[in-house]
């Protein structure tokens, strides 16, 4: 069945089978009726604030039900939301406020910084709003090409970029996920693990709630602690698994993560980074009844645009897992550096053309015009990803054409890490360099630094001082795990730091 409206689809379930569980955070459950009640009440409250129609609402928190209820309340009142995870660095938060200009902030968790001049709805107020009856009538929800959400990703300038995703973008994605390709059954129990500020989370919560399913939320505290994680997972009775391959690698460390202990788990949906042959092989061996799907896409094209079921044959016939075939409403052009389409079998940059492509970055016309264009009047995004299309139309990922990497599924611009390292009082020059494993996946991020004059007795003390300096500036996942010091940086012939050379060097090709 094709969904035409995300909000209406979720509300219809609330009206027809309101007692169905929508959200289950480790046993704390909420129904579809509660979801409708909370989001309606919040929407009515937001409408009383009389904020301008195109102003977004920032929603800050973790993996709680209140996050999803607030997202829906926001779009029901006609406003896009900006999800910001509770584990964000303070500077990321203030950057998002500065760039995104939200009219209101909803703090599901306590904000770590003061946000001047913008009304903040705190947890106690939110609880009161959710539980105060009112007669909400939805008159101007987010629709068509209005922004539904804005997700911030790493930017090369050191400032994040806000990707605007409209209701139409999201419909194109959702209908594809719930279509024939992924065998996604309605009323499924689905893992909700990635933070809501990461667009992979859209792959769990939106299709699940549109198809009457139950989100099985895994808070970060539970996901980060192996003992709890391994104990909790089998109690969730999952049908569908959505995560990065890196998270599956963590869970595979538990020998008990098997079909026997997860008898109803029939599908793994992966996205966000390379799915290695090793991970795919292990999962197929442990879960003979489950299908494994590799999907690919950037936030700018709404989560994912290509997909493939990974079978034994796929693994036998490919060194790297292919990223699949493009969804039917979308076109992928593989182009050379002059913007000319290349023939099948040759590598080039992936350009995505179709209805799930964003209109661009919020309040950032410069970055928007660099990455977005139109092809025959349809929105197109130049990904910076390299791939080749084989003679069967199957796409094979070939890495990046720039200095963007994925570490444990997180998207990181090496330039952003370098810029932030440079903010430490002890750093003169800095670069961040990835080290890859044999599968071609980044396993470690290194900092190479020319330090300012200092009296630290040992490099480790200098490293601690730099890390302390950067504590509230850098996103924790961007902090390099090793710091190396040099007297000077190697330079290219035109006098820039030779990043490519350093990457080759730390990976043993120097
Ligand atoms: P994000 O915007 O965080 O979803 O990151 C998008 C980037 O992740 C893409 O541009 C790719 O570089 C990478 N990526 C996403 N999915 C895959 C995949 N299945 N295989 C390899 N790389 C991927």
Pick the CATH number of 8-317 from 3.40.50.150, 3.40.50.12780, 3.30.1360.200, 2.30.30.100: 3.40.50.12780
Which fold, 330-399?
Luciferase; domain 3 (2.30.38)
Q: What is the pLDDT of residue 510?
A: 55
C-beta of 351 in contact with ligand 1 (< 6 A): no
Q: Which atom of ligand 1 is nearest to the CA of 198?
A: 3
Q: What is the pLDDT of residue 158?
A: 82
Report the predicted TM-score, pTM, of the whole model to 2 decimal places. 0.94
DSSP 374-404: EETTEEEEEEEEEEEE-TTS-EEEEEESSSE
The protein residue with its alpha carbon nearest to ligand 1, atom 4, reads: 298
What does the domain layout of the chain look like in residue ranges?
8-317, 330-399, 408-506
C-beta of 274 in contact with ligand 1 (< 6 A): yes
CA of 21 to the centre of ligand 1 (A): 32
CA of 140 to the centre of ligand 1 (A): 34
Which of the residues in the chain have pLDDT under 70?
510
CA of 246 to the centre of ligand 1 (A): 13
Mutation choice for ligand 1 from 156, 300, 406, CB with most ligand atoms inside 8 A: 406
| Residues 98 and 6: beta-carbon distance below 8 Å | no
CA of 299 to the centre of ligand 1 (A): 8
CA of 385 to the centre of ligand 1 (A): 8
Give per-residue pLDDT as tens, 300-355. 999 999 999 999 999 999 988 999 999 999 999 999 999 999 999 999 999 999 99
- Provide the CATH number for the domain formed by 408-506 in this structure: 3.30.300.30
C-beta of 172 in contact with ligand 1 (< 6 A): no
| Residues 216 and 236: beta-carbon distance below 8 Å | yes
Q: Which atom of ligand 1 is nearest to the CA of 350?
A: 10
CA of 272 to the centre of ligand 1 (A): 4
Give per-residue pLDDT as tens, 139-192. 999 999 999 999 999 888 888 999 999 999 999 999 999 999 999 999 999 999
- Count of helix runs (H) and strand runs (E) in the chain: 16, 25
Q: What is the pLDDT of residue 156?
A: 83
Residue partners of 264: CB distance under 8 A and separation at least 6: 189, 237, 238, 239
């Amino acid at each position: 069945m094709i969904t035409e409206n995300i909000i209406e689809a979720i509300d219809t379930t609330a009206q027809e089978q309101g007692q169905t569980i929508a959200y289950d955070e480790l046993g704390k459950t909420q129904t579809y009726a509660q979801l409708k009640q909370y989001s309606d009440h919040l929407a009515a409250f937001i409408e009383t604030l009389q904020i301008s129609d195109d102003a977004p609402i920032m929603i800050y928190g973790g993996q709680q039900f209140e996050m999803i209820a607030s997202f829906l309340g926001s779009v029901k009142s006609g406003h896009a939301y900006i999800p910001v995870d509770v584990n964000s660095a303070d500077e990321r938060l203030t950057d998002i406020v500065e760039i995104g200009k939200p009219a209101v902030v909803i703090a599901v968790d306590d904000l770590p910084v003061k946000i001047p001049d913008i009304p903040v709805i705190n947890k106690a107020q939110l609880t009161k709003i959710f539980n105060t009856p009112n007669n909400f009538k939805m008159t101007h929800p987010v629709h068509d090409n209005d922004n539904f959400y804005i997700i911030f990703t790493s930017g090369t300038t050191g400032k994040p970029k806000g990707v605007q995703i409209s209701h139409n973008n999201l419909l194109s994605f959702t209908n594809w996920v719930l279509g024939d390709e992924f065998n996604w059954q309605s009323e499924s129990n689905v893992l909700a693990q990635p933070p809501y500020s990461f667009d992979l989370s859209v792959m769990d919560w939106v299709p699940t709630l549109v198809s009457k399913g139950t989100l099985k939320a895994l808070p970060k505290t539970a996901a980060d602690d192996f003992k709890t994680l391994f104990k909790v997972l089998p109690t969730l009775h999952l049908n569908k698994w959505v995560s990065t391959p890196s998270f599956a690698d963590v869970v595979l460390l538990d020998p008990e993560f098997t079909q026997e202990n997860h008898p109803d788990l029939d599908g793994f949906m992966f996205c966000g980074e390379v799915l290695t042959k090793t991970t795919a092989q292990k999962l197929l061996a442990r879960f003979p009844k489950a299908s494994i799907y590799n999907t690919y896409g950037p936030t700018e094209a709404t989560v994912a645009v290509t997909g493939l079921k990974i079978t034994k044959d796929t693994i036998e016939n490919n060194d790297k897992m292919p990223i699949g075939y493009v969804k039917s409403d979308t076109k992928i052009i593989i182009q050379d550096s002059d913007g000319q389409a290349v023939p099948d079998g040759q590598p080039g940059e992936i350009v995505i053309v179709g209805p799930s492509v964003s209109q661009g970055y919020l309040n950032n016309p410069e970055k928007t015009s660099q990455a977005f264009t139109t092809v025959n009047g349809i929105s197109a995004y130049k990904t910076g990803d390299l791939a080749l299309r084989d003679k069967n139309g199957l796409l094979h990922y070939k890495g990046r054409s720039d200095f963007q990497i994925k570490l444990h599924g997180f998207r990181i611009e090496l330039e952003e890490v370098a810029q932030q390292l440079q903010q430490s009082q002890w750093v003169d020059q800095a670069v961040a360099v990835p080290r890859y494993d044999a599968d071609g996946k980044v396993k470690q991020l290194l900092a190479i630094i020319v330090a300012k004059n200092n009296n630290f007795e040992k490099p480790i003390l200098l490293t601690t001082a730099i890390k302390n300096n950067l504590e509230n500036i850098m996103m924790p996942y961007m902090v390099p795990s090793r710091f190396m010091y040099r007297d000077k940086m190697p330079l290219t012939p035109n006098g820039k730091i030779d990043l490519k050379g350093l990457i080759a060097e730390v990976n043993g090709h120097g």
